[in-house]
Amino acid sequence: LIEASIIIRRDMDITPPLIPVDFGNLRSSWYITITTGTTAGNSPGFKGGDASKMGSQHTSVVSGAASKAKSFPHPVVVMGFSAIYAEAIETKKKKHAWKRPSSGPHFFESALNRNKPLILKVIANSTKI
């Protein structure tokens, strides 16, 4: 499951639509956590006037995701972006001139959809019955 989340995260940085960037805080807010409580994305380097607020928010979001993941009786991965505006950017309808070329809305959904066959293959290859 971790490998699948790595595939998705990498794809959002190489295949359009890419993760939009102004200060890089959205990209920095990425996290993954699994049933065992292992997490990645614990120490993002937020920038700007909201950096400390975003850091606190990130800790809270990741902690909540870890608790949710641990509550499942079977392996599960929870992944996403902790930035409070992540969902608004993902679902944005209006055009916006991002600083990063080829970036824009539906970057997360597109990466999931594009990589679904590969993710299923990775999961199938690592599953033991």
Q: How many CB atoms lie within 10 A of CB 92?
A: 15
- How much is the pLDDT for 43? 74
Domains in the chain, number: 1
Nearest to residue 62, comparing CAs of 35, 89, 88, 42? 42
Range of the domain at 99: 2-126
Is the confidence at residue 16, as pLDDT, over 90? yes
pLDDT digits (tens, 9 = 90+) for 36-65: 877 788 778 899 888 999 999 999 999 999
Residues 31 and 99: their CA atoms lie apart, in Å, by 23
Q: What is the pTM of this model?
A: 0.88
Contact between residue 78 and residue 4 where contact means Cβ atoms under 8 Å apart? no
The confidence score (pLDDT) of residue 15 equals 97
Summarize pLDDT for 78-119 with one digit per residue, the tens: 999 999 999 999 998 887 888 899 999 999 999 999 999 999
Alpha helices by DSSP H, the chain? 2-14, 25-28, 51-70, 86-90, 107-126
Q: Supply the pLDDT for residue 6.
A: 93
